[in-house]
Structure 1
Amino acid sequence: MKQEPTIQLCVKVPAHTAEQIKKLAAANNIGVAEQLRQFIERGLSVEGYSQNIDFIASIIRQELMAVYHLEDIKAVVEQQTNRIAKMHMKSGKIDAAAFFLLIKVLMNIAHEGTEDQFDQMLNEAVTLGVDYMQKKDFQINSFLQDTDNLRRLADKL
């Protein structure tokens, strides 16, 4: 195998850097020149690798854009978003219907108290509902599993 011609380079480094290179070369059982050659080769390969990654990423991006048109993706996402929004609206309507049905049932059953007492009970129930909706997802399970607290809250009504 034909050996590639070499060129000598002179490089100045701070004293502490030179000491670190000497220690590393000694630990690797190689000379300082060989250690520097390895550093240079690694540095050049990393730079080449970085350029290759950017080039490959641009090719992948180009191919994806050729297959998946951005406007098509936006249309699908918008369609699904609209579908989810409509589902939430349906859920909200049925929740509101159940809420008002519950109020009507309670009005028919609760003839014992005054109208002011009923209004206070309704106001406190709405306040508890708003408080519940403001809880974070991670708080909901423990809140619902604390039956003693749920009973105390219901008794306040």
Structure 2
Amino acid sequence: MPEKSLKRSINFSPETLKALDTLAAKNNTTTSELVRQFVEKGLSIEGYTQDIDFIARIIRQELMAVYHLEDIKSVVEQQTNRIAKMHMKSGKIDAAAFFLLIKVLMNIAHEGTEDQFDQMLNEAITLGVDYMQKKDFQINSFLQDTDNLRRLAEKL
């Protein structure tokens, strides 16, 4: 035997009531049926949200029981420090190579003036900065375009 429905009186603004009537007509149903569908859907969403929150709490609790946050932080910090030290070493060797290259160029570039050498150095630094600003996916194609690399080097 179907469950007896109970009646409730609900007030809507004229705009909301008009929108409900229009949508009900569009869906070939009554406004009452449309409101019942909305209420049932809203209740199921609220229940679903409560279920998700409950499940998320359980998962968080289980993860915290297995993985201790302090241990994770410690490992991440160690690895971050290791990468930072490696990066510093790389930066130091890059700087040394840069200044060695300048010294070598100064020793072999006796043909130009000091201003020409300074201009060449500034343009090389500008190209280096431009290179460092490229995205990872751009680097390979940039380095494989030998014609462009040659043009850039000739500008120096």
TM-score, normalised with respect to structure 2? 0.71
- Structure 2 residue aligned with 1:61: 60
CA apart distance, 1:88:
1.0
- Structure 1 residue aligned with 2:153: 154
Gap change, CA 1:60 and 1:113, over 3 Å in 2:
same
Gap change, CA 1:35 and 1:19, over 3 Å in 2:
closer
- Structure 1 residue aligned with 2:73: 74
CA apart distance, 1:4:
4.2
Q: Is the 8 A contact 2:143 2:149 kept in 1?
A: yes
CA apart distance, 1:147:
3.6
CA apart distance, 1:87:
1.5
Distance in structure 1 (CA, Å) of the matches to 2:54 and 2:102: 65
- Structure 2 residue aligned with 1:128: 127
Per mean C-alpha deviation after superposition, the further-off stretch among 38-47 and 118-127 is 118-127
Q: Does 1:51 align with 2:46?
A: no
Letter in 2 for 1:116: E
Is the partner of 1:50 in helix, strand or coil? Answer: helix
Gap change, CA 1:19 and 1:92, over 3 Å in 2:
same
- Structure 2 residue aligned with 1:113: 111
TM-score, normalised with respect to structure 1? 0.70
CA apart distance, 1:149:
3.9
CA apart distance, 1:75:
0.9
Root-mean-square deviation over aligned CA pairs: 3.2
CA apart distance, 1:50:
1.3
Long gaps (5+) in structure 2? none
Q: Is the 8 A contact 1:144 1:150 kept in 2?
A: yes
CA deviation map 1:104-134 (0-9, x unaligned): 44344x164267267424444334323433x
Q: Does 1:16 align with 2:7?
A: no
CA apart distance, 1:24:
5.6
Long gaps (5+) in structure 1? none
Gap change, CA 1:10 and 1:93, over 3 Å in 2:
same
**How many residue pairs are counted as aligned between the two chains?**
151
Gap change, CA 1:56 and 1:113, over 3 Å in 2:
same
Give the share of equivalent positions with the same residue, in percent.
66
Gap change, CA 1:4 and 1:94, over 3 Å in 2:
same
Q: Is the 8 A contact 2:24 2:31 kept in 1?
A: yes
Gap change, CA 1:96 and 1:126, over 3 Å in 2:
same
Gap change, CA 1:32 and 1:119, over 3 Å in 2:
closer
